[in-house]
Amino acid sequence: MGNEVKYIYEEGHAMKKLFLIPIILLLVATLILGSCAGEEEAKTLKIGLIYGLTGPGSQMQLAKVETQKMCAEYINDRGGITINGEAYLIEMVVADNENSPAGSVTAATKLVYEDNVKFILGCVVPVQCDAVASVTEPAGVLYVAERTDIVHPDRPLYFTPNYGFAAPLPGLYEALLTLYPYVKKMGYLVEDEAGARAVADLSQNIARGHGLTLLEPVIHPWEAPEYAPEWTKVIGQKPDAVDQGLKMPDSTAACVRQGRELGYKGPLIAAIPGDPHLILNMIGEEAATDFIYAAFDVYGPEAPPMVKEIVELWDSKHSEPFDADSPETWDTMWVLKQAIEKAQSLDPTDVAKAWETMDTFESCKGTGKMGGAQTFGINHMGFAPCPVTRLQNGGIEFIMWFDPWVP
């Protein structure tokens, strides 16, 4: 009897197994088909990135690539870019320009003609941006420079969501004259480079508008490390304040430090961005005082809400701190997403037409405004809120946010 029961159980168990097999196969087939359907629904949009992965300054450029990856993940995790009800996930294609104009042409050519991308981001050095645009514009590819001082009517597919190096100047002078109301005479220490000279010219126009007396600009060889000869001339002019203009970060630090060592004690301003902690360390605490420039501490209380969110994401993935220039990097992809969704198209010409009609956009630093139509002849430059910081007595002091908009 016991054996009979056992047999009947085993036979029933076997029949159950046979009955379950087609059900299991049906479920597996359903999962496979569902997976395939999901794959068909998950469309991708290739976006090219051009940065200096090798060559001088590549460490900073690699950090920019990581920021772009993080932004792409942020967008993809929230559904991607939506066009006519369909979601597109961002797929990044990175090319190395070796931090040179020639390399920028090569990188852009590869992305356009080998990788077939229709949107390219990257570069902050004007000659590199121009080199990229020389390839993308005739190819009908939309190019978003990370930062540029000039947008061109003859380049309808060339944009930047970030103001150029000259845009912070009104805020720098406002801060200077508020903090140091005794300033009447302005000295100028200008790099012998086209972009730096152009920024210096704009700076002098702003100073004239404030009724200041302008001293003769002293010219310094581009990227030469020694500033003593030029500082000797500037100090001899007896300025109340000195605008040391547009320089690379290491040159900025060397200029401030050497000026202090030679005895200049007045305030300084500079049309540069840069992490306040980095600039402070490069200058040295003893010399880092009365120095005003366009930056903010991304870890400080003045950081906007979205920047704080980005910093938290960065810190969860990296041991090194988030760089103060990286919010501008983030905004190239973040604002491009907004322009594509406004256009509801992946055609670069459609996106360009939609972008240039955007009055405002959301940057990670807050609401920005498009501008440049009157100044440059085309409404292709973005102006997000601009920070002003002072290095004072070896510390970092946030001064204000201001609107850098240029019509």
In a domain, 343, yes or no: yes
Q: Are strands 185-191 and 213-214 parallel, antiparallel or unpaired?
A: parallel
In a domain, 312, yes or no: yes
Whether residue 288 is found in the same domain as residue 350: no
For the cut 80, the answer to whether the pLDDT of residue 139 exceeds it is yes
Spatial CB neighbours of 235, under 8 Å, sequence gap ≥ 6: 259, 262, 263, 264
Number of folded domains that form the chain: 3
When pLDDT is averaged across residues 250-268 and rounded to a whole number, the result is 96
pLDDT band for position 142 (cuts 50, 70, 90) = very high
Whether residue 59 is found in the same domain as residue 137: yes
Which residues form the domain of 9? 1-30
In a domain, 405, yes or no: no
Whether residue 4 is found in the same domain as residue 103: no
In a domain, 389, yes or no: no
The string of pLDDT tens digits covering residues 306-360 is 999 999 999 999 999 998 889 999 999 999 999 999 999 999 999 999 999 999 9
In a domain, 398, yes or no: no
Our CA angle for 384, 207, 282, nearest 5°, is 65
Place of tokens 């590199």: 128
Q: Which of 91, 87, 134 is nearest to 116 (CA)?
A: 91
For position 243, which CATH number holds? Answer: 3.40.50.2300
In a domain, 323, yes or no: yes
Whether residue 140 is found in the same domain as residue 174: no
When pLDDT is averaged across residues 203-208 and rounded to a whole number, the result is 96
Whether residue 159 is found in the same domain as residue 176: no
Model pTM score: 0.85
* Residue 5: how many other CB atoms lie within 10 Å: 9
In a domain, 150, yes or no: yes
* Residue 11: how many other CB atoms lie within 10 Å: 10
In a domain, 48, yes or no: yes
Q: Which residue(s) pair with 401 in the sheet?
A: 387
pLDDT band for position 2 (cuts 50, 70, 90) = very low
Whether residue 159 is found in the same domain as residue 174: no
Looking at 242, 274, 293, the residue that finishes a domain is 293
Whether residue 10 is found in the same domain as residue 49: no
Whether residue 18 is found in the same domain as residue 76: no
For the cut 60, the answer to whether the pLDDT of residue 30 exceeds it is no
Whether residue 145 is found in the same domain as residue 255: no
pLDDT band for position 40 (cuts 50, 70, 90) = low
pLDDT value for 296: 95
Looking at 293, 327, 346, the residue that finishes a domain is 293
CB 218 within 8 A of CB 242: no
pLDDT value for 41: 64
Looking at 243, 258, 293, the residue that finishes a domain is 293
Whether residue 23 is found in the same domain as residue 61: no
pLDDT value for 71: 98
When pLDDT is averaged across residues 113-133 and rounded to a whole number, the result is 94
Whether residue 150 is found in the same domain as residue 60: yes
Whether residue 149 is found in the same domain as residue 227: no
Our CA angle for 57, 63, 66, nearest 5°, is 145
